[in-house]
Structure 1
Amino acid sequence: MRIRSALSAIALVLGALFAPGFGVFSSAADAQAATKISHATATSMFSSSGITWSSSGGCSNRNNPTCTSFDQLNLDTAKGAQTLRSATGCGLNITGGTETGHAGGTYSHWNGYKLDFGKSTCVTNYIKNTFTYIGVRGDGAPQWKSGSGNIYADEGNHWDVTYYNCGGC
């Protein structure tokens, strides 16, 4: 139990260090310095972890809002999805990546910090039972924060996840 407590304390400290406005990501300039990967690299990473993806348009063009693209995805975002898959044991299907059509901002889909995951009971139960509820976002979406500082917003038919780091990869 002491080891588990120590690991929990370390996770809390790391979460604070990687939270927006603190430590590693203290400015928009820092956020833009993230390592970017290609669509092909991301899909290879996801396939190797058993993560699926889909798009309403059946395409991957970053400039088409009906596609699901991973071009310019942050490496830590892709690793964060892998960490979630591994930690939950749940099936994950990505329904939104870096394509146009999402809300803007520094920590946005377009800038490689967010992924949308299709809802499943398994994933929802894991998020709500493992992470800390932190209240409702300005648009009404309830949010949970992982120990590493990543934010999981329940947008009704999917999870909108902001990855500030790889989630303990």
Structure 2
Amino acid sequence: MEVRPSWRGLAGIGTAVLICLPMQHTKDPLPPPSPPPTPDVRVEVKGEISLPPLLAGTFIATVKTWNTTAADERIGHERAAGLLLDAGVRRKSTGGCTDRRRPYCTSLEAIRYGTLMRTIDLRRDSGCPVTVTGGTETGHADGRYSHGNGYKVDLAHNRCLDAYITGVYRYWRTRADGAALYRAAPSDAGADIWADEPTHWDVLFR
């Protein structure tokens, strides 16, 4: 006897197979994990901060970054020259030398740390070119607050620096050699003194 398949029966079997297949549910992908919170890092800066020459003088400093309690310490020429270079302060010597024993040299040997850092502060506060032409070398007038004792520096004249000094500081009096003297408060005997000499500013940083 020939058996012929029934299409109705096959359809029923197919339906049963489809019903028996497990249903696959599409789940929404899980969101990516949140990044860990960024810690609040605070850095306290103490001591010296040396700026690259290209950055120095491009802003007005409002915070002193050096240890003022060490102002009276004496430092060597190499360290002093490096700090000036980092801050964009130039040095110039008539004889092209640094020997403290020769008056035509420009030496920073045994200069006061405070004198050096105040010179750097001037560069940053004024935004003007600053060139040191005299330091602790011999040939300057003697005295307690003298070049030789590390309290004074000579700074070359330029239009920007001249305008800054005469604008910020007040005329005090004229020195015996004819140099006009400026300082922040004429009545303050302990104030810094800026003497306007023909080729440079003779500056006393106390």
TM-score, normalised to structure 2's length?
Answer: 0.62
* Match of residue 200, structure 2, among 158, 162, 165: 158
| Structure 2 unaligned blocks of 5 or more | 1-70
Paired position in structure 1 for 2:6: none
Q: Which amino acid aligns with 1:74?
A: R
Residue deviations 1:69-128, cap 9 Å, x none?
Answer: 000100000011011101110011110000000111110000000000110000000000
Paired position in structure 1 for 2:130: 92
Q: Which amino acid aligns with 2:93?
A: S
Identity of aligned residues (%): 40
* Match of residue 55, structure 1, among 87, 93, 96: 93
Task: After TM superposition, list the pairs within 5 Å mapping 1:19-168 onto structure 2.
Answer: 34-146=72-184, 149-164=191-206
Distance 2:103 2:111 in 1: 16
Distance 2:177 2:205 in 1: 19
How far did 1:34 drift? 2.3
Structural RMSD (CA): 1.4
SS of the counterpart of 1:94?
A: strand
Bigger-Rg structure (1/2) = 2
* Aligned positions, number: 132
Distance 2:191 2:86 in 1: 25
Instruction: Name the structure with the higher strand share.
Output: 1
How far did 1:140 drift? 1.5
TM-score, normalised to structure 1's length?
Answer: 0.75
Question: Per chain length, whose mean CA-contact separation is higher, i.e. which structure has more relative contact order (CA < 8 Å, sep 6+)?
Answer: 1
How far did 1:137 drift? 1.4
SS of the counterpart of 1:102?
A: coil
Runs of 4+ in 1 over 6 A off after TM superposition: none
